[in-house]
Structures are given as structure tokens and as C-alpha cells.
């Protein structure tokens, strides 16, 4: 069965500092990986996705993620965090093709300090 | 603009009462999904539908029911059998994958259900 682990429940980063959110997945085939962001009381917004090709993926809002098959990881990064980045971040994994469902991690809450 | 509309934004249920959450999309997507979100639990799949008049149970379907009579609509009923219905409910949709590609799920803004 597929699974996603986000080891950090909360992370606090100073504004302007760099950010890395960790995501480890378990999946038996080639995974299809996502990062979503959720502001309080809102739905999820897609930041970026990976299914093949270049292992460094660029997304919206200055985010990027790197797929490392050997480590089963898909960590999210941003070089300089803005206060508006404070939100909850979810990593998800699914299968390629068809109408496959997604398995989500439990999320990492990002707090940005002044 | 195309998108997913969930209504109402807030919903209150009395003990023993069934309630229905609405989800409508105008993205012309074939597949639709319902998730439940509890603090610290991430998103858990309740039901999903790949095509009109067909749907499958997800990981936590007990106490819930759905219908898919139209492509645009995928309502979720929280029945009285669901003993702990207080949660944030999210609806999503997506197009099927093409050869060598894939499409992400798009989400609505959610409905927060509480028990009176």
C-alpha cells in the first residue's frame, strides 16, 4: 500500500530564511508526487507536481521540489520565505494513469516569524 | 472561471439527522472525490467517482453515502450512522491521465460540519 510521511508537524522559519519541508513516500511503482498548500479554512492549492523527467521541479510562488528515488523523498524548498507562506503543506502520492486516487501525508504547518 | 463550488461553507447537524453537502464543478472533469480532514490527520478519502452513475468507497466510507447522477455534481450525505461527523470536508475533481501524463486534483473551498 502507498503511504506518505511528513516527519515535521510544525516548522517555524524566520522571514527571509530558506525553507525545506520533508516528504518521504512508499510506493511500489513509479510514483506521481504532489505538493499542495492550504490556508486556514480553505481548500488545497497545487504548488507543483512530478511524474517523470527532470527530478527538480519548479512550482508556483517560488517553490521547488526535488525527487530522489534512492531516498524515496520529494522535499519542498524555497530560498526565501515570505510571511504570506505561512500555511499548511501537504505532500501526496498516486499512481500514473487513469483515475488513480491520492494518498496524502498528515501535513506540515509552516509558521513564519518576523 | 472554471472551478469547484462547495456549499454550504458551514453546516450544523443535530443528533440523528442526515445532512447533504453539495459539490458542483464546471471543469468538465470526469472524476470527483470526497475527503474528510481532521486536525493532524491529513486528508482521508471517503468516496470517489470516475464516471456518472458509478462510485467507489474510499478508506473511510462508513456512515457516508454519495450519488453521481450528473457529471457536474457529486453530493455527499453524512448519515446518522456516522458517529463523529465533525470535520472539514473537501471535494476535488480531475481529468483522467493521458498517455505518459497525468492531471492533478483540483479542490473546492470545503464545508465545515459541526454537531449541535
The mean per-residue pLDDT over the stretch A79-84 comes to 97
Whether the CB-CB separation of A34 and A46 falls below 8 Å is answered with yes
Whether the CB-CB separation of B100 and B106 falls below 8 Å is answered with no
Instruction: Assign A99 a pLDDT band (cuts: 50, 70, 90).
Output: low
Give the pairing type, strands B54-57 and B31-38.
unpaired
Instruction: Assign A94 a pLDDT band (cuts: 50, 70, 90).
Output: confident
Whether the CB-CB separation of A90 and A36 falls below 8 Å is answered with yes
Q: Which residue has the higher pLDDT, B102 or A81?
A: A81
> In this predicted structure, what is the pLDDT of residue A113?
95
State whether A105 and B45 contact (CB < 8 Å).
Answer: no
Say what the alpha-carbon torsion angle B85, B88, B93, B99 is, to the nearest 10 degrees.
-100
Q: Shortest Cα distance from A6 to chain B (angstroms)?
A: 10
CA–CA separation, A24 and A58 (whole Å): 19
> In this predicted structure, what is the pLDDT of residue B101?
54
Q: Shortest Cα distance from A86 to chain B (angstroms)?
A: 16
Non-local (6+) Cβ contacts of B41 within 8 A are A106
SS3 string of A46-109? EEEEECCCCCEEECHHHCEEEEEHHHCEEEEEECCCCHHHCEEEEEEEEECCCCCCEEECCCEE
Percent of chain A with pLDDT over 90: 79
pLDDT in tens, A1-40: 789 999 999 999 999 999 999 999 998 777 889 999 999 8
> In this predicted structure, what is the pLDDT of residue B100?
47
* Residues of chain B that touch chain A, judged by Cβ-Cβ distance less than 8 Å: 4, 6, 30-31, 33, 35, 40-45, 48, 50, 58, 90, 92, 94, 96-97, 100-102, 104-110, 112
> In this predicted structure, what is the pLDDT of residue B2?
72
* Residue to test with chain A: of B42, B54, B60, B71, most A Cβ within 10 A: B42
A27 touches chain B (CB under 8 A): no
What does each of the 116 residues of chain B score in pLDDT, given as a tens digit? 679 999 999 999 888 899 999 999 999 888 999 999 998 889 999 999 988 999 999 999 999 999 999 999 999 999 988 889 999 999 999 886 665 456 788 999 999 999 88
A79 touches chain B (CB under 8 A): no
Amino acid at each position: 500500500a502507498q503511504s506518505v510521511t511528513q516527519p515535521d508537524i510544525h516548522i517555524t522559519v524566520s522571514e527571509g530564511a530558506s525553507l525545506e519541508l520533508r516528504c518521504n513516500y512508499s510506493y511500489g511503482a513509479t510514483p506521481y508526487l504532489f505538493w499542495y498548500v492550504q490556508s486556514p479554512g480553505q481548500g488545497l492549492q497545487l504548488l507543483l507536481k512530478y511524474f517523470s523527467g527532470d527530478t527538480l521541479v519548479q512550482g508556483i510562488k517560488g517553490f521547488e521540489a526535488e525527487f530522489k528515488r534512492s531516498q524515496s523523498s520529494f522535499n519542498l524548498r524555497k530560498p526565501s520565505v515570505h510571511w504570506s507562506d505561512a500555511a499548511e503543506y501537504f505532500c501526496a502520492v498516486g499512481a500514473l494513469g487513469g483515475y488513480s486516487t491520492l494518498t496524502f501525508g498528515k501535513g506540515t504547518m509552516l509558521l513564519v516569524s518576523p | 472561471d472554471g472551478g469547484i463550488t462547495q456549499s454550504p461553507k458551514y453546516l450544523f447537524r443535530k443528533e440523528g439527522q442526515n445532512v447533504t453537502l453539495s459539490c458542483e464543478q464546471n471543469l468538465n472533469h470526469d472524476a470527483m472525490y470526497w475527503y474528510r480532514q481532521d486536525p493532524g490527520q491529513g486528508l482521508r478519502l471517503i468516496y470517489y467517482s470516475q464516471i456518472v452513475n458509478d462510485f467507489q468507497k474510499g478508506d473511510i466510507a462508513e456512515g457516508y453515502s454519495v450519488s453521481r447522477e450528473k457529471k457536474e455534481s457529486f453530493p455527499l450525505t453524512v448519515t446518522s450512522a456516522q458517529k463523529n461527523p465533525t470535520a472539514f470536508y473537501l471535494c476535488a475533481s480531475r481529468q483522467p491521465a493521458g498517455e505518459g501524463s497525468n492531471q492533478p486534483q483540483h479542490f473546492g473551498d470545503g464545508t465545515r460540519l459541526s454537531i449541535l
